[in-house]
Chain A
Amino acid sequence: MSAAAPKMRGHTSSATPAPPGAASAPPRRREVRGRAVGGLWLPAGIGLALLVVPVIGLLQRAPWSDLPSLLGSARLRDALVISAVTSAVAAGASVLLGLPLALVLSRCEPALRRLVRVAVLLPMVLPPVVGGTALLFALGRRGLVGQWLDTTFGWSLPFSTAGVVVAATFVAMPFFVITAEAGLRSADAGLVEAARTLGARRSVAFRRVMLPQVAPSLAAGAALAWARALGEFGATITFAGNLRGRTQTLPLATFEALEAGRPAEAIALSVVLLAVSVVVLVSLRDRWLTR
């Protein structure tokens, strides 16, 4: 979708016919823009406030002076480690499994592509707790596949750190696949063709010609997937449970702190997650902020 946006804009601006008097064009456009904003200020402002006020509310309650000691507590450190490890592995898995999926999606028959894309998009729109429940009945000890894993290999995913990774990958991979697919589809296939006719092997053409073109999309997709994995809550608590040092991630620790009447701890954790989100946004600034 995001890859489509600039194309659209290019299309419309080039399609706008230049008026006969070229000098009269800029003022007219400015006039249109001013009129369009006038009546929209109120609803736009309410919308913006709805998004911004909660963040301000959080920050003004943050115990800034106690933050270092709060974040240094063993409980929060454990959650920080679990979150860092599982979100990184989930982002890695999303790239490793999602890139082939994106390539297949970008190349396969349109009918099949629609079908696969629905499957890929479903975890994005599914409430995460439903995803966790589904994972439990698929990969749980008595689940469709989990039963077999348990009896054959003695593997049990629920209540394990691996289970956290599975839940996070389930919700995060679609973000990578969709972003990567958009990049792959908008890349210039003619260049790869050219490389092939010049004698490059398929793998070389992909690595040297295709990858550099789609690298920004892949990086953005990976960042999005990682951020989504880090924020994962519903599927994790449903499928992987909640145990400090094994499956308790930052969002789970935030939830438990708030439940237990330790709001300062919950706010401190929220500030950490907020800071990470801002870093992700800044790292994606070329994609979203400057366009």
Chain B
Amino acid sequence: MPEPPGPGRLRAALRTTVALAACGAVLAAAVSCGGGTSGVAAGRRNVTVFAASSLTDVFSDIAAAFEAAHPDVEVTLQFAGSSRLATQINAGAPADVFAAADERTAAHVAARQVAVFARNRLAIATPPDNPAGVTGLDSLTGDDLVLALCAPDVPCGALAEQVGGPELVAAADTREPNVRGVLTKVLLGEVDAGVVYLTDVAAAGDAVRGFAIDHPASTAYPLVLLSDSPEAAGFVDFVASPPAQDLLAAAGFGAP
């Protein structure tokens, strides 16, 4: 295995260096292909928005509409479970606006201004063929059924515990870090059912089957303003305005 010292080793080292450089070039090419619009254009101001996973689709649309209305402002979006985003913000992450999936999580960060902009309810998502014959909340507690819930500390997990009680918690086979993680496991067919938001079922379209949960509990989405920048305040106002509220309603979110 050890190569003899001398030109052979040098050549081998050179070969490795060339290979690594090629890898770097491939990565760079991939980045430049994918990110035509993501580069920070000169002169554009930035608003960084941290948003709950369940807002993934609708906030991408809202940000695009906001950018169309304010060509000089660029919105940077980051989606994750609300509790992770709150932890990151408290650790100094440079977010200007935080859209959390419940008020308890939003209360963990020091805010300048908080206003509820949407509501959501839970639903059950199953693969299209519904392999375990799910009919509703009561049918989730069987032993044979593979069930995914959100982690206890993310809003969708806390709400699921409130709605389904300890029987539902005991039936869970995995607790995913955010609601889109639950949805993915359903989309892949790796679980028989997942408890997600009504809006996640709508966003997945025909790829999942949705079942309503007959329970009045809902969650309120607060929008938290974290910075003094006028653009950030502008974005917060925009989310409350009719164009954004129409997008939220179209995605299945309830009015604040």
The answer to whether A256 and B188 touch across the interface, beta carbons within 8 angstroms, is: no
The answer to whether A256 and B174 touch across the interface, beta carbons within 8 angstroms, is: no
What per-residue 1/0 map shows which CB atoms of A128-140 lie under 8 Å from chain B? 0000000010001
* 9-residue interface stretch from A214-222, A258-266, A273-281: A258-266
The answer to whether B190 and A158 touch across the interface, beta carbons within 8 angstroms, is: yes
CA distance A242 to B189 in the complex (A): 17
Contacts of B152 in A (CB 8 A): 260
Judged by DSSP, the binding face of B is loop
What size tier do the contact residues of chain A reach?
20 to 34
Given known A4-B2, A136-B188, A140-B188, contact A156–B83 (CB-CB < 8 A):
no
> When A and B form their complex, what is the total count of cross-chain residue pairs whose Cβ atoms lie within 8 Å?
71
The answer to whether A259 and B2 touch across the interface, beta carbons within 8 angstroms, is: no
Contacts of B148 in A (CB 8 A): 241
Contacts of A29 in B (CB 8 A): none
Size of the chain B interface, CB-CB below 8 angstroms = 27
Cβ-based interface call for A46 (8 A) = no
The answer to whether A256 and B153 touch across the interface, beta carbons within 8 angstroms, is: yes
Given known A7-B2, A142-B188, A182-B1, contact A243–B86 (CB-CB < 8 A):
no
For B81, give the chain A residue with the smallest CB separation.
A259
The answer to whether B177 and A136 touch across the interface, beta carbons within 8 angstroms, is: no
Cβ-based interface call for B44 (8 A) = no
Cβ-based interface call for A247 (8 A) = yes
The answer to whether A258 and B2 touch across the interface, beta carbons within 8 angstroms, is: no
The answer to whether B146 and A156 touch across the interface, beta carbons within 8 angstroms, is: yes
The answer to whether B190 and A8 touch across the interface, beta carbons within 8 angstroms, is: no
For A4, give the chain B residue with the smallest CB separation.
B2
The answer to whether B189 and A243 touch across the interface, beta carbons within 8 angstroms, is: no
Cβ-based interface call for B108 (8 A) = yes
For B192, give the chain A residue with the smallest CB separation.
A141
**Whole-angstrom distance between the Cβ of A150 and the nearest chain B Cβ:** 10
Cβ-based interface call for B200 (8 A) = no
CA distance A151 to B108 in the complex (A): 47
The answer to whether B151 and A256 touch across the interface, beta carbons within 8 angstroms, is: yes
Cβ-based interface call for A159 (8 A) = yes
Contacts of A196 in B (CB 8 A): none
A-B contact pairs, 25 of them (CB 8 A): A12-B5, A142-B188, A142-B189, A158-B190, A159-B146, A159-B174, A159-B190, A242-B175, A242-B176, A243-B172, A243-B174, A246-B173, A247-B174, A255-B177, A256-B153, A256-B177, A258-B87, A259-B81, A259-B177, A260-B151, A260-B153, A261-B83, A261-B87, A261-B108, A261-B153
Inter-chain pairs besides A11-B2, A185-B1, A241-B175, 13 sampled, C-beta below 8 Å: A4-B2, A7-B2, A136-B190, A159-B146, A159-B190, A241-B148, A241-B174, A243-B172, A259-B151, A259-B154, A260-B83, A260-B151, A261-B83
